[in-house]
Amino acid sequence: MRKEVAFFDSVEGGTDPALVSEAADRAAALLVRGARASSDDEVADRLLHLADTEGIEAIAEVWSGSPPDSLAGSLWRLFVLRQGVHADPVGIARDYEAGRGRADVATVVAGVADPPGPEQLRTMVDEVLRGIAGSDFADVLLRAAAFARVVSAGRAGHSERAGADVVRMLDLAEQLEAAGHAELAGRLA
């Protein structure tokens, strides 16, 4: 007797990208919007427990492929910015200070008069990634965007750091700013 093999059972591969995307979106919504936006409090508790015990890196990995104009994508970009601050706080602080002298901070991002320094950014992003920020997520995105713009301006002044690194930081700033405005308009999902 011949055993029937289902078509998809015979295909080897990684995790279904649609499932990864769904998990990324759900994790992002639970962290930013909280369990109030979800009917599944137990999932939110498990997610926050995972972040506390395994580190936010375990959750952030699923956000990495998310588009910048999504909730998950904006969290990935905040995570990347946070990792940069943690990896080189002295260099980021130097770039930030140099950028403050080069950028007109009042016009970096409308409505953000004073971008945070590295330590304030680290605290602010950590709070979001732990699900604390909730209703002021747009402010977090806009302040992080302003911070990234100032760092980019500071890096542009260093000949050894000019180039692709400056462009990437500026792209990150623009993506965070766009996400912040989308959040203000109620379109960030």
pTM score of the predicted model: 0.78
| Residue keyed to tokens 């806009």 | 142
What's the confidence (pLDDT) of residue 38?
Answer: 54
Domain segments of the chain as ranges: 16-184
For residues 188 and 69, give the distance between their C-alpha atoms in angstroms, rounded to a whole number. Answer: 7
* Nearest CA among 155, 147, 189 for reference residue 172: 147
What's the confidence (pLDDT) of residue 174?
Answer: 96
* Nearest CA among 73, 68, 61 for reference residue 32: 73
Q: What is the pLDDT of residues 132-178, one digit of tens each?
A: 565 588 888 988 888 898 889 889 987 666 688 899 999 999 999 99
Higher pLDDT, 96 or 105: 96
Higher pLDDT, 126 or 5: 126
> Across residues 12-23, what is the average pLDDT?
77
User: Considering the chain, what percentage of its residues have pLDDT values greater than 70?
Assistant: 70
For residues 54 and 103, give the distance between their C-alpha atoms in angstroms, rounded to a whole number. Answer: 38
Residue 106 has pLDDT above 50, yes or no: no
Residue 107 has pLDDT above 60, yes or no: no
DSSP string, 122-169: HHHHHHHHTT--GGGHHHHHHHHHHHHHHHHHHHHT-TTT-SHHHHHH
> Across residues 58-80, what is the average pLDDT?
90
